[in-house]
Amino acid sequence: MFKLIEGKAIAQSIRAEIREKVAAFKAETGNEIGLAVVLVGENPASQIYVRNKIKACEEVGIKSYAYYLPEAVTQNGLEELLSSLAQNDEIQGILVQLPLPTHLSDKALKLIPDGKDVDGFSENNIGRLCLNLPATVACTPYGVMKMLEYEHIEIRGKNAVVVGRSNIVGKPMAMLLMNADATVTVCHSKTKNLKEQCLKADILVSAIGKPKFITSDMIKEGATVIDVGMNRDENGKLCGDVDFERVKEKCSYITPVPGGVGPMTITMLMYNTYLAALRSKN
């Protein structure tokens, strides 16, 4: 029998805690906590993510500042906005929704000071995570770690396999699991024996963006399966990277899509913003 890891419910309980912390911060300092959310262009998935992030801000009492830039904005235009947000004392966190349109370079993100980098994407934050030093941790992998913690799933000494090596999920995920004493394997599109690698996983995290790519023959009996994918299946229905209906029968724990990792990601963004405000106060 498998247990469903209900990210949505865990996220709600963490958001209630954050709401209290934010209220206490405001009472103590007399200041708001501000998060700037920058969206360039009209990517429909990004629009939904940004809307949900702004909604989450309302839920926990963080003041959101939304900046919707036209698709045609220049690199200079984006950089001018980020420079002014970097200097704005009312704003403790800045996030630029990715991916940017192809004519813009991610180099603009370098204008976000490390202290306001609530996505944990900066070179310093990623470097500090690699060194196992205090860092702002990217929200999705951070949310996955929180889910494992909530379910008391042991990581130390376990075989963890991360499928996907992106800078925003796969790499920081592998670092977090390694820092928690797992033996970590990172697989990607050029991995030769993916099935054999996955079969070794006590904890499997998939973040590749391919609908139902992880099938039950790739799963070790009793594994924990974390699905970071957010895809559409052949009928246009939301689904993860994992063939949930078949894979669940072999698992001890599994996350659903939707309602699994997604709500946790946004919750950790709220938490990172609160932590950024605390740091800026001290």
Which of these, 121, 112, 156, 123, lies nearest to 141 by C-alpha position? 121
Active site (annotated) includes residue 233: no
CA distance 275 to 86: 17
d(CA 30, CA 3): 43
In the list 10, 39, 78, 95, the residue contacting ligand GUN (rule: CB under 6 A) is 95
Q: Which of 21, 53, 116, 158 is catalytic?
A: 53
Among 64, 122, 125, 140, binds ligand GUN (CB under 6 A): 140
CB-based contacts of 79, cutoff 8 Å, min separation 6:
108, 111
CA separation for the pair 27, 165 (Å, rounded): 42
237 catalytically annotated: no
Looking at beta carbons only, is 96 or 176 nearer to ligand GUN? Answer: 96
Query: With respect to ligand GUN, which residue has the nearer C-beta, 96 or 214?
Result: 96
Which listed range, 93-101, 143-151, 189-197, 208-216, lies at the site for ligand GUN (CB under 6 A)?
93-101
Closest CA to 169 of 218, 238, 241, 111: 241
Question: Which residue in 97, 158, 243, 248 is the catalytic one?
Answer: 97
Taking residues 221 to 250 in sequence order and writing x for each that binds ligand GUN by CB under 6 A, - otherwise, the string is ------------------------------
Identify whether 53 is a catalytic site residue.
yes
Helices (H), 109-260: 123-130, 139-150, 170-179, 194-199, 244-247
Binding interface with ligand GUN (CB under 6 A): 95-98, 119, 139-140, 168, 265
- For the annotated catalytic residues, the residue numbers are 53, 97, 119
